[in-house]
Structure 1
Amino acid sequence: MLLTIEKIIAGGLGLGRREDGCTVLVPGVLPGEEVRVRVRRRHRRFLEAELQEHLRPAPARRQPPCPFYGRCGGCDLQHALYPAQLAIKQQILEELLQRVGLAAQVLPRLAAPLAAPAEFNYRQRIRLQVEQGRAGFFQSGSRQLQPISTCLLARPEINALWQEMQQHKGWRQLAGQVKALEINLDPVSGRLVVMLRHGRRPRPAERRAAWQLCRDLPALQGLAFLPAGHAAGPFIDQRSGPEGRPGPEALQLTMSLPVVPAAVNLELGFEPWGFSQVNEEQNRQLLALLFEFLQPTGREIVADLHCGMGNFSLPLALLVGEVHGVDLQAAAIRWARRNAEANRINNCYFSRAEAGQGLAALQVGGIRPDVLLLDPPRTGCKELVAALAEPLPPRIVMISCDPATMVRDLSGLLALNYQVAAMRLVDMFPQTHHIETITMLTKSQP
């Protein structure tokens, strides 16, 4: 059938309509394009189709630079010039706000998107699926593996190591038992840590192969086995020998985080499997935007309820009165405390708890935050928002990586008599449909 693409919807698919009005969803298209498509799958309310031919391409269309694009499920907007990608994401966000009835309250406060400093080679961590010794990404909407030799979203150091590994006999010895492979770049040293999700505990020959990899590839800081059903380990580096080390201390990663208003450069450590933003440069811009929203005076009490290893807590502590970080992951709290000590920050306190329980504990202890910082996982913080009670903090900053759960939680906060003071889309993941936002809310006066 012939279609005119009206818009791109959440998930990166183009939407067009058949002559009878039936909705048709198509990947790899842009708004305004006239295309020929073939139906792949029929649903009760819409059709899925695949692109056959461009009859009138959009001016913003480009030839995707990645040879695996369209087969690999990692990217879905690479066929659009980068400014067009930003416009598409902004339109998706605006439409979502309109659909849930928040347009009048939010759109006047929604700024232009914050572009990423680099649209390619920005990821400092990638995860490859492995089947029968071949590594790559699953194709979109399937479990079919597309082997890859390089990824244009990954930092050059990651691609260089992966290409070396593929030629090394040590990797070929290991690959048969590996289910997934993660490569992490240490932004400070430039060296890399590899994690192997192994089907079982590694045998002596596999440990020797891993050690040989570490010895032969200078960029490889170390390697961790994550065997299914068993504790992590051994942890192998160039000096450990094939038996490895019992703990991952030698595989620590470190990120450098400039706090410009305080004229300080923090160095924050974390474990390779701990959470950190994959786009280091955009993370710095997001931090600067957080400072711009808050305009700290040096007296605020901040509760960071999803603090991780201190990515926001510790920089904020240099500019406010005190910060209380809460996270449910024990390793995150352990590293947050280490990072506070290593950077000589003594007004930042960390505790392990679920976000709502952590906030309740602060209030029981007589601590009344002036600012709540919420940076939840994709599932959002519905339960926390529902449990908020007086005295409510004057300001809340919500950082979200999923617009659907963001608008749900935002609706709950607006019902508590908050209003949106500022919102901005932060493009953390160029070439993909993923949308990150930061929103500041202030408490309306009764």
Structure 2
Amino acid sequence: MAQFYSAKRRNTTRDIITVTADDLDPFGQGVARHQGKALFIAGLLPGETAEVTLTEEKRQFAHARVKKRLTHSPERVTPACPHFNVCGGCQQQHVSETLQQSSKARALARMMHQPVDEIISGPTWGYRRRARLGLNFAPRKQSLQMGFRMAGSNDLVDVHHCPILAPRLEALLPALRDCLSDLHAVRRLGHVELVLADNGPLIVLRHLAPLSEADREKLERFSHSEQLSLFLAAESDKIAQLNGDAPWYESDGLRLSFSPRDFIQVNDAVNQQMVARAIDWLAVNAQDRVLDLFCGMGNFTLPLARRAQEVVGVEGVAALVEKGRENAARNGLQNVTFWHENLEEDVTRQPWAAAGFNKVLLDPARAGAPGVMQHILRLAPEKVVYVSCNPTTLARDSDALRAGGYQITRLAMLDMFPHTGHLESMALFEKA
């Protein structure tokens, strides 16, 4: 009879063991070895020795908790946020920025079987230009909670400071809390989104019941006093502008407008470098026909179109395609075409697929791009730039390109989310 392994937790010993970490995983956990297994220990840094107890044991690895740290790494720093270790937003504020970046680069190199040529980074504090804060009225305290989820929980951490937020957004938190607490609908609020556009901040308030005229007036006064744009979301998929201007940001000298709910990279400094590096790696010139897959609203597409003969962008979200077309027209770019197509389906029959492209860029979501890899090989471009937010799917899709005669000639780690476990990267593939 076949036997199947169950991933249920095994009984773990409560005995204290002494281990020394020799690596750091992307989530800020020290990695040690014990009885032939990898042992992941929250809060322990490479080179540190500690007495630990096992909390979870599986066939290939185990987790442990520090009982007593015996040595102290010079890479250990004091977290800047008072909510660290409670809030689930950051995992690595106790780790020096140098060690954060080098450990992520080593992890990427191991997964890709390829050395990392470059670490692309920006400011490590105040970098986040977008955030969503949950809202919950606590009946016992008769007060509004506003913040992020606790690590491993749906409970809210009542956040008063967030040093990774753009300073202008962090400065809004006290006044925003006061304004929302004063609404009659305070018990029926869902969340609030904060976005810093180049033309100023905006907020999107999700409310679960209709707002009274008095509440709308309070919100409008708040938006005027704080000089921000205000949008209301009575439904999860619809927003209505109450006050202010439509948001936009600049990239490569272009002005890109966007809806408050549209995806934009939250780290502007790294995004600007990432776009510039992609253009450089592709060596785009006036004879090139470039294909941009999973193009969004044109973060790469439009800067590429400034240099290429023609650019085609393909995206699965209709609203982003429409926004890309608007931005192309607004910036006077007539050599770019956007297509709304599902790139997880058979792409060979899609209208854009028959055209010849000599260079390709793709920037898929976490699931990667398995549906288009074989078609990219059929196009046989000179160069392919793959921008990834998930190294696991990048490694998988890279195998298809390597099997088709391409090799990685450049690999960069993007420090898009300092102090967190996110590992983003970009790779250049060229014909071997």
Q: What is the letter of the counterpart of residue 361 of structure 1?
A: Q
* Alignment check: 8 A CA contact 2:206 2:235 kept: yes
Distance 1:279 1:162 in 2: 20
Deviates more, 1:418-427 or 1:195-204: 195-204
Aligned with 1:390: secondary structure? Answer: helix
What pairs up with 1:73-88 in 2 under 5 angstroms?
Answer: 73-88=88-103
Distance 1:234 1:170 in 2: 21
Q: Is residue 430 from structure 1 mapped to residue 408 from structure 2 by the alignment?
A: no
TM-score, structure 2 normalization: 0.88
* Alignment check: 8 A CA contact 2:286 2:309 kept: yes
Q: Is residue 112 from structure 1 mapped to residue 112 from structure 2 by the alignment?
A: no
* Alignment check: 8 A CA contact 2:180 2:186 kept: no
Aligned with 1:149: secondary structure? Answer: coil
Q: Is residue 14 from structure 1 mapped to residue 19 from structure 2 by the alignment?
A: no
Change (3 A) 1:137 1:39: farther
Residue 193 of structure 1 corresponds to which residue in structure 2? 202
Deviates more, 1:124-133 or 1:61-70: 124-133
* Alignment check: 8 A CA contact 1:324 1:348 kept: yes
Residue 397 of structure 1 corresponds to which residue in structure 2? 385
Q: Is residue 256 from structure 1 mapped to residue 228 from structure 2 by the alignment?
A: no
Q: What is the aligned length?
A: 409
Q: 1:211 aligns with which of 208, 212, 220?
A: 220
Deviation at 1:148, TM superposition (A): 0.7
Structure 1 vs Structure 2: percent identity of aligned residues? Answer: 28
* Alignment check: 8 A CA contact 1:422 1:441 kept: yes
Change (3 A) 1:344 1:359: farther
TM-score, structure 1 normalization: 0.86
Distance 2:100 2:240 in 1: 43
Change (3 A) 1:24 1:174: farther
Q: Is residue 129 from structure 1 mapped to residue 117 from structure 2 by the alignment?
A: no
Q: What is the letter of the counterpart of residue 327 of structure 1?
A: E
Change (3 A) 1:429 1:360: farther
Deviation at 1:39, TM superposition (A): 3.4
Q: 2:290 aligns with which of 291, 302, 307?
A: 302
Residue 100 of structure 1 corresponds to which residue in structure 2? none
* Alignment check: 8 A CA contact 2:26 2:420 kept: no
What pairs up with 1:275-314 in 2 under 5 angstroms?
Answer: 275-314=263-302
Residue 193 of structure 2 corresponds to which residue in structure 1? 182
Q: Is residue 341 from structure 1 mapped to residue 329 from structure 2 by the alignment?
A: yes
Q: Is residue 50 from structure 1 mapped to residue 65 from structure 2 by the alignment?
A: yes
Q: Deviations over 1:263-295 (max 9, x none)?
A: xx2111010110111011111111121122111
Distance 1:384 1:390 in 2: 10
Q: Deviations over 1:100-159 (max 9, x none)?
A: xxx2xx33xx30312x22010001101112222311111222223211112111101101
* Alignment check: 8 A CA contact 1:13 1:29 kept: yes
Aligned with 1:434: secondary structure? Answer: coil
When the two chains are superposed, the root-mean-square deviation of aligned CA atoms in Å is 2.2
* Alignment check: 8 A CA contact 1:24 1:46 kept: yes
Q: What is the letter of the counterpart of residue 3 of structure 1?
A: V
Q: Is residue 162 from structure 1 mapped to residue 177 from structure 2 by the alignment?
A: no
User: Structure 1 stretches of 5 or more lacking a match?
Assistant: 98-102, 238-249, 259-264
Aligned with 1:383: secondary structure? Answer: coil
Change (3 A) 1:398 1:359: farther
Change (3 A) 1:440 1:391: same
Deviation at 1:341, TM superposition (A): 0.9
Aligned with 1:382: secondary structure? Answer: coil
* Alignment check: 8 A CA contact 2:207 2:232 kept: no
* Alignment check: 8 A CA contact 2:183 2:215 kept: no
Aligned with 1:117: secondary structure? Answer: coil
Distance 1:204 1:43 in 2: 57
Change (3 A) 1:431 1:288: same
* Alignment check: 8 A CA contact 2:385 2:426 kept: yes
* Alignment check: 8 A CA contact 2:343 2:371 kept: no
Q: 1:414 aligns with which of 378, 381, 402?
A: 402
Q: What is the letter of the counterpart of residue 206 of structure 2?
A: R
Change (3 A) 1:44 1:203: farther
Q: Is residue 361 from structure 1 mapped to residue 350 from structure 2 by the alignment?
A: yes
Residue 12 of structure 2 corresponds to which residue in structure 1? none
Aligned with 2:384: secondary structure? Answer: strand
Deviation at 1:178, TM superposition (A): 2.0
Distance 2:57 2:90 in 1: 24
Q: Deviations over 1:197-252 (max 9, x none)?
A: 3334545454344334324x333211221424xx5133311xxxxxxxxxxxx552
